[in-house]
Amino acid sequence: MDVNRSNLLGDLAVDVAFDAPIGAMTWFGIGGRATMLVKPQTEDALVTLMQRCHQSGMTVRVLGGGANLLVDDSGIDGVVIRLDHETFTRLRFNRQGPVDRVRVMGGTDLFKLVNETARHGLDGVGQLAGIPGTLGGALRMNAGGAYGDTGQVVDSVSMVALNGERLDLSRDQLQFDYRYSNLPNGIVLSAVLGLEPGDPVAIRSKVREIFAYKSASQPMADNSAGCAFRNPTVNGERVPAGRLIDEAGLKGFTIGGATVSDRHANFISTTPQATARDVMNVMAEIQARVQDHHGIALQPEVVTWSDDPGVGTP
């Protein structure tokens, strides 16, 4: 990286680590390092950092909870931003009128979001129980499952664009679909969620039910990024990718330290000895066999970071 670090960071309220082991921070627990990991302490520091990176042509990536991320073994250049300072992990409930709105910062952990809203007797995000990651990542990919998705409760989103411009997007400007949002490139600062007041006991019971369902059907104790592939649409209907992978005979398929889970075939589990390339090779084999067996091209849900232009995900 050919940029003066003091010019980029010198007067900013940030924490910075060089040659940071970000692969170990993902749910896979494997992969390479980043040239620079920066943790802004304030919104102003984040905005200025984004402006400077844009002006210098610096590549910027955002590391949320690392839940659906694979970092190439060789590592990546550029700046990786992580919003784990208290500034970016707060929830604020509206104080006037009935409490039915909450502003959630982009770095907020989904587990915290689900439990805090349930504790306040607010229903609407229980569908995210058991889904790892942060709100920013969940909005970007419209995370969800059989019980619903993130986008269904979003009133507005505030962002910082790649050039450092602040953006405020209202509900009528937002579009959400299966694993899709129309959010522009940039970083989610916060979102206002519209929730339904209810009985805290009933809401917590519903959350436990959803979590129990996922625990029984998914290898939640494994090192895994969650679903590796999106569920494809076949003849107008969404088909579970896990079923297609299972029918192609791939449960238990292993390369190096990466294995297709015996519990749920759309999960790839890793051992500490695994490499990111092991996971990539397992995913490539899954795609090839499902294509041969079903004639269906699976699209990855896992995002891959790599400086190899033939590998990385934008």
Q: Are strands 254-255 and 14-20 parallel, antiparallel or unpaired?
A: unpaired
Which candidate, 83, 86, 72, 90, places its Cα nearest to that of 28? 72
User: For residue 94, which amino acid is it?
Assistant: N
Report how far residue 49's alpha carbon sits from residue 55's, in angstroms, rounded to the nearest whole number: 10
| Residues 6+ positions from 151 with CB-CB distance below 8 Å | 139, 142, 144, 174, 176, 177, 181
Residues identified as active-site: 179, 227, 301
Task: Say if residues 7 and 52 touch (Cβ distance below 8 Å).
Answer: yes
Task: Say if residues 27 and 269 touch (Cβ distance below 8 Å).
Answer: no
Q: Are strands 76-81 and 60-62 parallel, antiparallel or unpaired?
A: parallel
The DSSP call for residue 145 is E
Which secondary-structure segment (H or E) carries 230?
none
Report how far residue 260's alpha carbon sits from residue 255's, in angstroms, rounded to the nearest whole number: 9
User: For residue 198, which amino acid is it?
Assistant: G
